[in-house]
Amino acid sequence: MNLITPFDPWQGNWCSCPEKYSLSAYTGCGHNCLYCYASSYIRNFSSPRPKKDFLKRLEKEVRKLPKNSFITIANSSDPYLPLEKELKLTQAGLKILKEYDLRIMIVTKSSLILRDLEILKSFKKIVVSVSFTTLRDALTKTLEPTACLPGKRLKAIKIISAHIPVVARFDPLIYPLNTGEIKKMVRELKNAGARQIITSTYKVKPDNFKRMVGSFPKYKAIWEKLYLKEGQRLGRYLYLPLTYRKQLIEKVRKISLEEGLGFSSCREGFNNLNTKNCDGSSLFPQGENN
Ligand code: SF4
């Protein structure tokens, strides 16, 4: 199996991403986010491990990519897991990738990305995407137990955005857990230097729902009503009812536009509301192949 694989997580259902590839040095993820979708389809997901012969295989595969290919690092993991501190595979992979004409998007929840700032700055076409669900430390510790705290992520955006375009994912919106902080979140992200807000609503899968109600029993009844009884099924996911979903997405959009930011929603079916590409790729410098 190749390391660099075409990105198409939901066989195209509501995914409006441009053509791109996925790459990760690791299988699984140790951030243990309660709402994680990837945990349902990757074995031993919460025990991240390095991919076998990652650097050797990367050297070989990257040579075969067409010029200006777009690679996201990473989609079902975080390139800056605690494991990366000692293994430095993401760092070594970036050193290989920077020798090629590629568009690179780094997606992370970790301030460890700052360690590699000089390497990231050496890419001509790069965008960094930093994800948030809340600005509250206590809620972060429950929702994303081993990810770094929001203040550190904001600080990372501040430093990186002085050199590289940064988009922020406010993702997922979990009613009513974090939907009261939409205005504050968008403003903080803007003040930190993000240029686009990407958002989506929480989708229920059996394993993430079990974790969510286990940690937030007081919302069990409301989530059962909104998702299990009244929700919309799309593929293997249960979405909020359409009107609720649209209201939440429109609220994030309105505040983002008021703040002068780009906006997009991800896999919600509201592409008409987007002012930029859904994944932040409008921020790559425009070249002949873009
Ligand atoms: S950072 Fe992403 S991949 Fe890792 S556990 Fe959280 S949601 Fe899942």
Residue 129 has a CB neighbour count (10 Å cut-off) of 23
Could you tell me the residue ranges of all domains in the chain?
Answer: 5-283
How far apart are the CA of 253 and the centre of ligand 1, in A? 24
Instruction: Tell me the mean pLDDT in the region 95-114.
Output: 98
User: Comparing 99-103, 206-210, 239-243, 284-288, which segment has the lowest mean pLDDT?
Assistant: 284-288
Residue 203 has a CB neighbour count (10 Å cut-off) of 23
Q: Does 42 contact ligand 1 (Cβ within 6 A)?
A: no
Q: What is the pLDDT of residues 186-227, one digit of tens each?
A: 999 999 999 999 999 999 999 999 999 999 999 999 999 999
Q: Look at 232 and 8; give whichever has higher pLDDT.
A: 232
Q: Does 76 contact ligand 1 (Cβ within 6 A)?
A: yes
Instruction: Tell me the mean pLDDT in the region 229-254.
Output: 96
User: What confidence tier does 13 reach under pLDDT thresholds 50, 70, 90?
Assistant: low
Q: Does 108 contact ligand 1 (Cβ within 6 A)?
A: no
Q: Ligand 1 pocket: which of 27, 31, 39 to mutate (most atoms <8 Å of CB)?
A: 31
Return the ligand 1 atom nearest residue 76 CA. Answer: 3
Q: Does 107 contact ligand 1 (Cβ within 6 A)?
A: no
Task: Give the separation between CA 7 and CA 71, rounded to whole angstroms.
Answer: 9
Q: What is the 3-state secondary structure (H, E, C) of the chain?
A: CCCCEECCCCCCCCCCCCCCEECCCEECCCCCCCCCCHHHCCCCCCCCEECCCHHHHHHHHHCCCCCCEEEEECCCCCCCCHHHHHHCHHHHHHHHHCCCCEEEEEEECCHHHHHHHHHHHCCCCEEEEEEECCCCHHHHHHHCCCCCCHHHHHHHHHHHCCCCCEEEEEEEECCCCCHHHHHHHHHHHHHHCCCEEEEEECCECHHHHHHHHHHCHHHHHHHHHHHHHCCEEECCEEECCHHHHHHHHHHHHHHHHHCCCEEEECCCCCHHHCCCCCCCHHHCCCCCCC
Task: Determine the Cα angle at 252 with ends 246 and 257, to 5°.
Answer: 120
Q: What is the pLDDT of residues 139-196, one digit of tens each?
A: 999 999 999 999 999 999 999 999 999 999 999 999 999 999 999 999 999 999 999 9
User: What fold is seen in the domain 5-283?
Assistant: pyruvate-formate lyase- activating enzyme (3.80.30)
* Ligand 1 atom 2 nearest Cα: 77
How far apart are the CA of 205 and the centre of ligand 1, in A? 14
Distances, alpha carbon 144 to alpha carbons 138, 140, 161, 211, 221, in Å: 10, 5, 24, 11, 22
Q: What is the pLDDT of residues 15-73, one digit of tens each?
A: 788 889 999 999 999 999 999 999 988 999 999 999 999 999 999 999 999 999 999 99
Task: Give the separation between CA 223 and CA 177, rounded to whole angstroms.
Answer: 11
Instruction: State the amino acid at position 85 in one-letter form.
Output: K
- How much is the pLDDT for 289? 46
- How much is the pLDDT for 10? 53
What lies within 8 Å, CB to CB, of 134 at 6+ separation is 140, 143, 150, 177, 178, 181, 185
